[in-house]
Amino acid sequence: MIDNFDVNKIRNDFPELSRTVHEKPLIYLDNAASTLKCAPVIEALNQHYSNEAANIHRGVHYLSEMGTVKYEATRTSIQKFINAENDYQVIFTKGTTESLNLVASSYGRKFLKAGDQILLSTLEHHSNIVPWQMVAEEVGAKVIEIPVNDLGEIDQAAYKSLLNDKVAIVATNHISNSLGTINPIKDMIKLAHEVGAIYVVDAAQSISHEKIDVQDLDCDFLAFSSHKMFGPTGVGVLYGKEDLLNKMPPYQGGGDMIDVVTFEKTTYNDLPHKFEAGTPHIAGVIALKAAIDYLEEIGLDKIKAWENELLIYATEKLSKIEGLTIIGTSKEKTSVISFTIDGAHPHDIGTLLDRQGIAVRTGHHCTQPLMKRFNIPATTRASFSVYNTKEEVDALVAGIIKTKEFL
């Protein structure tokens, strides 16, 4: 039993969990796609739009200055949350996808050259594949796949064999969104640096499950999204090492990212503003601090422990269902279970579970190369968060059995 952990108290902080779907209590098991929003986040959004709505950074009036202070407080909060050396190494974006595109576009276009190699694992989300393919095609670099084994783990021997002085970038996720595999990125980063490559970490799935220390990892870039850590949609973060960020050209042009603009020449602002053109999602960034405060109040260690307990419980229960195969059985794994059922299409399974009030995700999960690796078109994915319960796991199991009987 986890000390001082009350899942029912936590559930009360998420208003959506009190609703019904198809006249059934909502059982939300689609957390790898997006988490529900806690009351402090909702309150922070409402407070801004009701009482504090104004643009930031360039205003001298009260509302603008107050918004600027709150907005920048979130940056400082993130700096501490991931242990970045400076707050200006925290860049706000629209999400993990834009953060990865920013690195591929700004760093990749400037520093990649013909013949360079970019290593990506089979586990990657499309947002950590396609941007690299785009820039590789443009500059004449080559994208090379790091294979995974039958457990859904990155093949570390294969990874080591692929590393050479032509490798300029390695980009992998910390945790797989499809399988829940936790990758040994600290060791992988060290190996990449030994051949002179930079390492980009997609932390979208790990940010609310694992304590991340960017200085300890020594990653060059790290990207994550607010909406997968109880925060608003439309807000993301890119962390980068200061020397790399300073060498990179701006990703977009517009207001706030400039120093002086003339028709002859424009000079650019300092970090972090150089990469934050235009009016941002002010309310979303402010509310993200409420999400971080909430995560820290519970404690990432307790969150990880409870989610791991749910994972073990659910794996044991689901493994007993005849015809059900769990895809991805890594030794190191977080609370994501993807599965197939003999003779049943994942979309049919998801639809019938939905009629029972159970929200799961079906499809290829934006990981088509991974589906091809396992020779399947899609899976059904149940992903658990800190507010889920063993009773909900039991309901999922019962729902799958009922669905099997119907099909």
* 384 three-state secondary structure: coil
Closest by CA position to 55, among listed 280, 371, 254: 280
Question: Pick the catalytic residue: 139, 144, 258, 366?
Answer: 366
Active-site residue flag, 38: no
Q: Which two tokens stand for residue 283?
A: 């309310």
Q: Please give the DSSP secondary-structure letter assigned to residue 237.
A: E
Q: Which two tokens stand for residue 231?
A: 């925060």
CB 34 within 8 Å of CB 228: yes
CA distance 70 to 286: 6
CA distance 215 to 299: 20
Q: Which two tokens stand for residue 58?
A: 């360039």
From the number of C-beta atoms within 10 Å of its C-beta (0-12, 13-18, 19+), residue 5 rates as middle
261: left (phi over 0), alpha (psi -120 to 50) or beta: beta
> For the chain, what is the radius of gyration of the CA atoms?
22
Amino acid at residue number 261: V
CB 195 within 8 Å of CB 164: yes
- Return the H-helix or E-strand segment holding 137: helix 130-139
Residues in Cβ contact with 197 at an 8 Å cutoff, skipping those fewer than 6 apart? 119, 163, 167, 168, 169, 170
CA distance 298 to 264: 53
Closest by CA position to 336, among listed 32, 127, 123: 32
Q: Please give the DSSP secondary-structure letter assigned to residue 151.
A: T
- Return the H-helix or E-strand segment holding 72: helix 62-82
Catalytic positions, please?
A: 366
